[in-house]
Structure 1
């Protein structure tokens, strides 16, 4: 018989899916923080561009970290893929919600999320368990 922790535990098997999920969680937290800043200070919406890039970069870094840690190998490549997939999901959502057009900011966001996702993946692999994954 299995202990209660193993029966009720929910674990996502794919490192990339778990990284995207954590990216979305950090995106939501950052968006809430930015909304509180807009509400509580005299900052205008035109002043939020650096904050938005910072939130997306941090969310991609965290997603790459989680996916690299779960994968246990090839951290920069899985982090890069997680960052790019995160950016594409955000861009798809933005396009469907607001009908945004292509601009230099989109390319900048793709580059930022790719680089920070790869960095997070490299950091995540180095904090994982010491036993190699794969053959057992």
Structure 2
């Protein structure tokens, strides 16, 4: 597949990640608003949902791209992390902490694994 097709598939994956993140953020905010749950009690759930969304975005990228799953999955994770970094740096005037760097490295690896699995689950391989 040409590089344009791979780029489009990465964009689909990143958009899927952000859609999943927006929906899950809405659900968590409703839970926090209308129940007695505290933010600290949802920490592991939020982390789990984050990893699932990165994996799903990588999977969509791999399924759409149909080749080079490790490459396009990594690109999806890198673009996601770059957008989050730019939002945090430009909007909040702070850099990533060491903990955030570790999380984003794991996010990139998770998206890469999703991309690999997405390519291997693709039905129309040639």
Q: TM-score surpassing 0.5?
A: yes
- Equivalent residue for 2:30? 36
Give the TM-score taking structure 1 as reference length.
0.76
Q: Secondary structure at the match of 1:90?
A: helix
Measured on the aligned residues, the alpha-carbon RMSD in Å equals: 1.9
User: Aligned pair 1:96/2:90, yes or no?
Assistant: yes
Give the ranges of 4+ consecutive aligned residues of structure 1 lying more than 4 Å apart after TM superposition: none
- Equivalent residue for 2:12? 18
Q: Secondary structure at the match of 1:26?
A: helix
- Equivalent residue for 2:56? 62
- Equivalent residue for 1:7? none
Aligned residues of 2:85 and 2:95 also touching (Cα < 8 A): no
Unaligned runs of 5+ in 2: 1-6
Give the TM-score taking structure 2 as reference length.
0.82
Q: How many residues in Structure 1 have an aligned counterpart in Structure 2? A: 120
Pair member with larger Rg: 1
As a proportion of its length, which structure holds more helix? Answer: 2
